Amino acid sequence: MPVGKRVGAEILGTFMLVFAGSAVAAMAAGIPGIGLGTAAIAIAFGLGVLVMSYALGHVSGAHFNPAVTVAAFIARRFPAKDVMPYILAQVAGAVLGALALFVVAMGKPGPSIAGLAANGFGAQSPNGFEMVACMVTEIVLTFGVALTFLATNERRAMTAHAPIAVGLAVALAYLVAVPITGGSINPARSTAAAIFAGGAAASQLWLFWIAPLIGGALAGVIAPLLSRSPQGEPPEP
């Protein structure tokens, strides 16, 4: 598959994931009393990954997350030359999704959802969790998502059941993470939210790159050890 098509699929998939998932998360945080809680946020992100994976997985492999791309590379499932194009595409898609949501948010008077459910620790954590707790949470949960992705995929193409498994893994991760960090698991999503939220969300963004990438890297190391072939599959040329 030409790299342009794969990059385009990553932009589109990440756009839809961020727009839909962050819309639910932002409304739950910004408009009290509308009845959206952690479960709704987790379902929204899980369904977003599931649907977009079925729609676009045959094109790009449906990473939609820099941590997943790093995991696939370290596990020797993905070529080095495509790592940065994928990550840039994911960030671009996330920013476009957040921009679209920002436009929607500005169309309603009253409580603002312009923060777009940004992530944070300390005073910015939904329940006041400190930095180390938030970092461990993001590492462990991203590890779980990336490991599920690697265990249910073959090279760049998703297997038939992979979107279901990965979508459920993402939903589970958000169920745990939302009360602690606001739920990142995805540096591209966190970057998009921080751009529009600014302030502390932007200054704390570093954690929501470092922790998920560590989790993804650990999954990339461990996944081949659990497979039938310890060396994993070589990346496609």
Specify if 176 maps to a domain: yes
53-104 pLDDT tens trace: 999 999 999 999 999 999 999 999 999 999 999 999 999 999 999 999 888 8
87-101 pLDDT tens trace: 999 999 999 999 998
Q: Which of 139, 127, 101, 119 is nearest to 21 (CA)?
A: 101
Instruction: Domain of residue 17: give its range.
Output: 3-226
Within 8 A by CB and 6+ apart from 2, the residues are none
Specify if 106 maps to a domain: yes
State how far the Cα of 196 lies from the Cα of 95, in Å rounded to an integer: 9
Among 21-30, 31-40, 203-212, where is mean pLDDT lowest?
31-40
Specify if 131 maps to a domain: yes
Report the CATH number at residue 16. 1.20.1080.10
Element (H, E) at 153: strand 153-154
State how far the Cα of 6 lies from the Cα of 1, in Å rounded to an integer: 7
Q: Which of 45, 40, 63 is nearest to 171 (CA)?
A: 45
Across 21-35, 156-170, 182-196, 209-223, the highest mean pLDDT is recorded for 209-223
Specify if 117 maps to a domain: yes
Specify if 237 maps to a domain: no
pLDDT band at 237 (very low <50, low <70, confident <90, very high): very low
Specify if 91 maps to a domain: yes
Specify if 236 maps to a domain: no
State how far the Cα of 141 lies from the Cα of 149, in Å rounded to an integer: 13
3-state secondary structure of 157: strand
Count up the domains in the chain and report the number: 1
DSSP 8-state assignment for residue 160: T
Q: Which tokens in the block code for residue 146?
A: 């990336």
**Mean pLDDT along residues 109-128:** 74
pLDDT band at 112 (very low <50, low <70, confident <90, very high): low
Specify if 87 maps to a domain: yes
